[in-house]
Amino acid sequence: MSALQELAAIAVDVIRILGLLVLGWFRFFFPTRKPVDGEIALITGAGSGLGRLLALELAKLRATLVLVDVNFEAVQAVAAEIRALRPDDKAAAFAYKCDLSSRDDVYAMAARVKSEVGQVSILVNNAGIVTGRKLLDCPDPLIEKTFSVNTTAHFWTVKAFLPAMIESNHGHVVTIASSAGLIGVAGLADYCASKHGAVGLDESLRYEMHKLGKTGVKTTVVCPFFIDTGMFEGVTTRFPLILPILKPDYAVAKILDAILTNQSILCMPRFVYLMPFAKSILPTQAMDAVVRLFGVSNSMDDFHGRSSANSTTATASKGRTDVKSH
């Protein structure tokens, strides 16, 4: 390529960026929502918290729900709730037991879903666990489990369901990550690292779809601050007006809207959008002071997680050292 041709190619790219900037702002102010009736939506960790609420919302929009969880009774109960919402529709919801920390379990579940329900067109990687231990206090098996559920399982589900989406150039991969996937937090090293991995997977996947020209395969990554689902019981925030502990209904309404409008990145509350920006422009010590100011470094001090009596996750309370089995 001659220097002139190179210059022309750069000019075209710059014009494209400006055009996409305008288009992005237009879509922000005038979003269009896609229909999801008839879509097959698979949600991992659908037995409780965000997964359950999102399943109910997608069911109201007449998507077919595939509910996956290690807690089979919990997903069966959610499937029953969905069937009660849509008594006319026997194929409204399907429940599957799957331990996402096992690759074999994930692929076996995926094979059953494809033959019993059909090709998944909306994949929501939502299941997650937290140990809440300081780095040196966290037993190795718990660290491995955190990564296998919060990060590695996403690879297996994406590998199982993405090929059909690519073939039809139609689909959506949703990654429920965390604001802890954008910034480190004292007392959350394993969780933060696993969520950074999930954020990286989403971003790379988005670029791969662009490169393949599969514009019909959308991706969304969700990075919320703490949500009052029970998973992070005991955490605190210093400035609840700017950085509130979110209500599950609010978080799910925003996630649903992000899916329907094909929003690529959703941070909640909006303040979280500033974190990566602040991190990249502030000197490290100034950023550390900001993190201290907002109480992020102390947010885990009183964390105790869900009490084991009503625990449906592999969350380990602070005093335990064993891996919780299901």
Least distance in Å: CB of 50 to ligand NAD? Answer: 4
C-beta separation of 175 from 222 below 8 A: yes
* From 96, 107, 191, 250, the catalytic residue: 191
187 binds ligand NAD (CB under 6 A): no
Least distance in Å: CB of 277 to ligand NAD? Answer: 19
Least distance in Å: CB of 225 to ligand NAD? Answer: 7
182 binds ligand NAD (CB under 6 A): no
Nearer to ligand NAD, 219 or 312 (CB): 312
Among 131, 157, 178, 220, binds ligand NAD (CB under 6 A): 178
Task: Identify the helix (H) or strand (E) that includes residue 44.
Answer: strand 40-44
69 binds ligand NAD (CB under 6 A): yes
Largest Cα–Cα distance of the chain, in whole Å? 69
57 binds ligand NAD (CB under 6 A): no
CA-closest candidate to residue 50, choices 233, 252, 244: 252
CA dist 142 and 316 (Å) reads: 8
Nearer to ligand NAD, 41 or 231 (CB): 231
78 binds ligand NAD (CB under 6 A): no
CA dist 63 and 10 (Å) reads: 43
Q: Which of residues 219-248 bind ligand NAD (CB under 6 A)?
A: 224, 226-227, 229-232
CB atoms within 10 A of CB 158: 19
Nearer to ligand NAD, 128 or 187 (CB): 128
Among 36, 40, 267, 314, binds ligand NAD (CB under 6 A): 314
Give, in degrees to the nearest 5, the angle at Cα 103 between 102 and 109. Answer: 90
Q: 27-56 burial string, b = 16+ CB within 10 Å, else e? A: eeeeeeeeebeebbbbbbbbbbbbbbbbbb
Asked if 107 is an active-site residue, the reply is no
> Is residue 175 helix, strand or coil?
strand
CA dist 121 and 44 (Å) reads: 14
Q: Which of residues 20-49 bind ligand NAD (CB under 6 A)?
A: 45, 47-49
**Helix 153-168 and helix 103-116: axis angle, to 10°?**
30
Site for ligand NAD (CB under 6 A): how many residues?
31
CA dist 259 and 174 (Å) reads: 8
CA dist 244 and 107 (Å) reads: 38
Least distance in Å: CB of 216 to ligand NAD? Answer: 26
Give 90's contacts (C-beta < 8 A, 6+ positions apart). 83
123 binds ligand NAD (CB under 6 A): no
Among 65, 127, 221, 258, binds ligand NAD (CB under 6 A): 127
70 binds ligand NAD (CB under 6 A): yes
Nearer to ligand NAD, 16 or 247 (CB): 247
Least distance in Å: CB of 2 to ligand NAD? Answer: 50
CA dist 94 and 72 (Å) reads: 11
175 binds ligand NAD (CB under 6 A): no
Q: Which of residues 85-104 bind ligand NAD (CB under 6 A)?
A: 98-101
C-beta separation of 217 from 174 below 8 A: no
Using the contact rule CB under 6 A, the part of the chain among 7-15, 23-31, 83-91, 123-131 near ligand NAD is: 123-131
C-beta separation of 312 from 48 below 8 A: yes
- Interacting residues toward ligand NAD by CB under 6 A: 45, 47-51, 69-71, 74, 98-101, 126-129, 149, 176, 178, 224, 226-227, 229-232, 312-314
**Active-site residue set:** 191
